[in-house]
Structure 1
């Protein structure tokens, strides 16, 4: 919890404001639940949550925190049954402290919910393969449906798990009943798809809205970096490209060795199929999709690290499950590396891009503007980036959007004159449509906060020659 507290108290960023009353209220909430690009379960939960617990920064992040901790509890329970208490403790300790899960369990997004429900669904499938009872069928179907209603990314893990689980049942069946053994798994998968069918049909009609221009290509190098560096250190150790390359070269062979030890231990415990399917399947599927899109000449891209969040628990299992002395020593070194990386992420690297871009300090900016001289006058704020967080932190401010390619200072003065403002602040967001340094105002001081730069014009600047 100590590692997570600083992140839980940071300013809300754009996506998180969607989980507050600024957006999730009245007719707007219904529109989001039915038309938003994301699956609706998380937003529906948050719409109820904020009416009970409020929409403060801490309040809207608590569900993600609980989902992250719940994921660790699920994995610990599965590992204890399949691998023993020693491996369960190592794996839970790493998950508790690894920067990737520390970050996403403190953000009001559906990422932690996706991780929890997908992990639950995969563990339910593993139980179904071991114990083909009616109860296991129902639990597998329900858990899978909840995962899909939380995030379609869960299908990246569910589909390979269904396929590999079916093969496992066929291989271990006798000659007389081999074809009937996958029946319960097939029934469970069918139940999941039927329960999720309304959402799948709806999203199929909105597929053109599912793409994002910030997504990238997934190839072999990106896969190695994701597994060896991003999931283990959260990119907190190395910020420049030479150091990132050095981290990749050092950590890749060690991760490969640890994964090999983990696979051997899992095979001896007869528990390897599901972690392997849940790790290799999503990566392979997204890699194939990326290559097909590139080969077809499409400009659509599908990869960002959090799109593969579903692999995190099973990467941890394979990385730390080795049961030899050397494997256990290296496993605890991975835990120490994750601890150091998380500490760096919340201290020396708190303003740098690590697991994701840092939360811009919208709260601090809003407080500064509200306490500045002239705050009781009509004040406007303009930026090329969306200013939704200011509707949460400073609802009295008038907001304006600077169109692409327009001189920001000229546009600020035009809006100041047109809307009758007494002063206007121009804001540049470092990681979202930033204003180039040469376009910043040079007639006065530029104020800086984490992720933000801002400068002010007043009515005396209307005649300035910009």
Structure 2
């Protein structure tokens, strides 16, 4: 998706990004990627490196914010936790706008943080106070505007910035400089709002036409618990009990960080006392715990209210990615207070947080957590599809990712753009594909648009399954529309093997060499796909026959067998119903034993209860890794 838009002219990217009709994201990231790929090329590494670079830069504003809120040690710890956070590392590697928007938004928050720190008590930590200049507001305007024009959910940071300004004014309302700095900061946020207004209008109109309303704050408890777990350690496939403990420790440390800021605020700000020599870190911003609490709570409250307009506000954990830095800051503040109180306690807390992140981080690259494997999915379809086959993509917008890697001659269709609720919606588009021998249905991110799985159900009710496979984030199903061909295809080797009243005319298979293990398409086993062509020269058998395929070694030991499926050709069109000399295409997936040794094996076709046997070919098992 990103590479498609980045390849468009800059003027087209801007036009589409402002209207949000053809793509639901603003234009800035695509414009940056447009320039980046012009310099470094459109390859996968170059495309992903832009987000990784901008994501890595997020440690700088987080350190600055942490230093303002809790001192230098809090800033360092927050930056370290952010740099190793598995959730943020994951999205830094994606060729999408979520992590760049987070970095831009953090720059905006840093500018506001510097500005409000200048309203505070002049005797507090004066060496870190910002001079009366306007560069923090320029940073805030640039950061927030860039974030908004990169990712729409960045708008949730604007109420946070406004609340920080209002809080700083209220706490220092008796000081002569407070009103001026408040209104100057408010004017800066108003500038951001005016710059955002065209995009906000488009977003409101588009969401109103497509969103499904829900209930305010529905299911917020489980949602927040899930977000806390994922934001802390990502998706490490740990047990439920382990994830519960992770959430308890992360939540407890966050509460401690918030409470520590409250204690310092009460002790030093409310009493307006001179700062004594103290062992505790002194923040530049009054009530740092309250500022962090506002950062965490205001977006959640606003999101809970917006559920009345769109029930999917919290559907994806990435939507509120900008909350993760706030959590890292609360954890950093909590660790800083612990460290100053008891170094041993702070060291244990830091070791627990860093240890959890480092142990969870490798799960980002585990087979279970792979990103959508579009390269592999396209190669699979390209390898298995025949010359007169077609490809159907659902949801429609993912066709861009598929076609980036697909180079086959088969046509690619993506006819469904609206939500499907009625089977009649799919009839006309899919009936138009009747002239193809097979259709390969490639699905990803389609559940919301097709909750009843009507497209796959339409094919499954009419045609036998060729094969099915599930590379990461994708489902591929092949359906044999021409499963009763008029003649044996010319490229199929002829066998003419007799099985009582049935005759095996020929067969093909692929691959001819494979590993017994497969962690991508159908873990844990490798599959061999066999296509056989059957006929009944005379009277069809009285009882239905269900042939199968086995993988057999030289000693006759079986190391794999075809999967039994109720929606294959011989179940949809049983042998007892065959017409004389009719040809039927039957497809089989031979599932290997994952510990099959290296060697050469025969693909033996049999029909249980019927005399006859045929060897379709030989397969080499090349590795057991």
- Do the aligned partners of residues 460 and 56 (structure 1) sit closer, same or farther apart at CA in structure 2, a change above 3 Å counting? same
**Aligned with residue 449 of structure 1, among 471, 496, 499:** 471
Q: Deviations over 1:364-407 (max 9, x none)?
A: 12223334484xx3441124433332221125431134765669
**Aligned with residue 370 of structure 1, among 372, 382, 387:** 382
1:258 is aligned to: 253
Within 2, Cα distance between the matches of 1:88 and 1:178?
Answer: 26
**Contact 2:51–2:99 under 8 Å retained in 1:** yes
| 1:153 has 2:153 as partner | yes
Within 1, Cα distance between the matches of 2:393 and 2:320?
Answer: 32
The 5-angstrom pairing of residues 187-202 of structure 1 reads: 187-202=187-202
TM-score using structure 1 length: 0.78
| 1:286 has 2:300 as partner | yes
Within 2, Cα distance between the matches of 1:230 and 1:261?
Answer: 20
Within 2, Cα distance between the matches of 1:50 and 1:203?
Answer: 28
CA positional deviation for 1:197: 3.3
- Do the aligned partners of residues 277 and 77 (structure 1) sit closer, same or farther apart at CA in structure 2, a change above 3 Å counting? closer
Within 2, Cα distance between the matches of 1:462 and 1:277?
Answer: 71
Q: Deviations over 1:327-374 (max 9, x none)?
A: 332122111111211212322xx325xxxxx53322112223334484
Secondary structure of the residue aligned to 2:322 is helix
**Aligned with residue 43 of structure 1, among 23, 30, 35:** 30
**Aligned with residue 353 of structure 2, among 334, 339, 344:** 334
| 1:309 has 2:321 as partner | yes
CA positional deviation for 1:412: 10
The 5-angstrom pairing of residues 45-444 of structure 1 reads: 45-79=32-66, 83=70, 86-129=73-116, 130=118, 131=130, 132-174=132-174, 176=176, 178-209=178-209, 211=211, 217=218, 219-227=220-228, 229-238=229-238, 243-244=239-240, 246-247=241-242, 249-266=244-261, 267=264, 268-271=281-284, 273=287, 276-277=290-291, 280-281=294-295, 283-291=297-305, 293-294=307-308, 300-303=311-314, 304-321=316-333, 322-323=335-336, 324=339, 325=343, 326-347=345-366, 350-352=367-369, 358-372=370-384, 374=386, 377-386=387-396, 387-395=399-407, 396-401=409-414, 404=420, 414-418=431-435, 421=436, 423-429=438-444, 432=447, 433=450, 435=456, 439=460, 442=464, 444=466
Secondary structure of the residue aligned to 1:224 is helix
Within 2, Cα distance between the matches of 1:75 and 1:87?
Answer: 10
- Do the aligned partners of residues 210 and 173 (structure 1) sit closer, same or farther apart at CA in structure 2, a change above 3 Å counting? farther
**Contact 1:232–1:338 under 8 Å retained in 2:** yes
- Do the aligned partners of residues 351 and 188 (structure 1) sit closer, same or farther apart at CA in structure 2, a change above 3 Å counting? same
Within 1, Cα distance between the matches of 2:445 and 2:174?
Answer: 62
Larger strand proportion of the pair: 2
CA positional deviation for 1:231: 0.6
**Contact 1:33–1:40 under 8 Å retained in 2:** yes
Q: Deviations over 1:124-158 (max 9, x none)?
A: 11111123423333332232222222233222122
CA positional deviation for 1:116: 0.6
TM-score using structure 2 length: 0.60
Within 1, Cα distance between the matches of 2:67 and 2:305?
Answer: 38
Within 1, Cα distance between the matches of 2:68 and 2:139?
Answer: 18
Compare CA radii of gyration and give the structure with the larger one: 2
| 1:34 has 2:18 as partner | yes
Larger helix proportion of the pair: 1
CA positional deviation for 1:96: 1.9
Within 2, Cα distance between the matches of 1:401 and 1:140?
Answer: 42
CA positional deviation for 1:191: 2.5
CA positional deviation for 1:61: 1.5
- Do the aligned partners of residues 183 and 57 (structure 1) sit closer, same or farther apart at CA in structure 2, a change above 3 Å counting? same
